[in-house]
Amino acid sequence: MNRRNLASPRSSQGGFSLIEVMVALLILAFGLLGFALLQTTSVRFVQSANYRTQATNLANDLIELMRAQRTDTLAGGAYSSASFAAGAVTANGACTWPTGAAVTPKTNVARWQCEVVKTLGEKASAEVQFTQSTGRVSVAITWGDQRWDPKEPDSLTTFGLTTFL
């Protein structure tokens, strides 16, 4: 009988070496680093999507105000002059809805412009085009979307909506 075959199986195993443990930790570190990068990119895209959603809601808000006060809109009232350039409107903090006798198309436009700047930042602007003969309305809202493109953080994004009253 061979004595080597009688040796216990435990004596032939030596466990993990320090190099194996270091390689495993290195692989884990790269995986966690990749996950962290994925998470930060995801946050940037989610915040950008939130701005796009807000711009969509703001454009719909103005169009619904125009529909609600259709007579004033078709007469070329305050809603047709709702356009503003970046930096022309400041968000005074309280962009509240006017109430009572203060509710006019002009106060609604001022509140809407304030909401656009408050929601999308100081670089926000809007261009509203209304064609009286056809009732066609176009609302384009532009804002600085710093989160979308890390190479060009000052690039502008525009959302446009066109409909008929």
What pLDDT digit, counting tens, does each position of 47-94 carry? 888 999 999 999 999 999 999 888 888 888 888 889 999 888 887 766
What pLDDT digit, counting tens, does each position of 110-155 carry? 899 999 999 998 889 999 998 888 889 999 999 988 666 667 777 8
pTM of the model: 0.74
What pLDDT digit, counting tens, does each position of 6-60 carry? 555 555 566 778 888 899 999 999 999 999 999 988 888 888 889 999 999 999 9
How many other C-beta atoms lie within 10 A of the C-beta of residue 61? 16
How would you classify the pairing of strands 156-164 and 125-131?
A: unpaired
Strand partners, 157: 143
Check residue 89 and give its pLDDT: 85
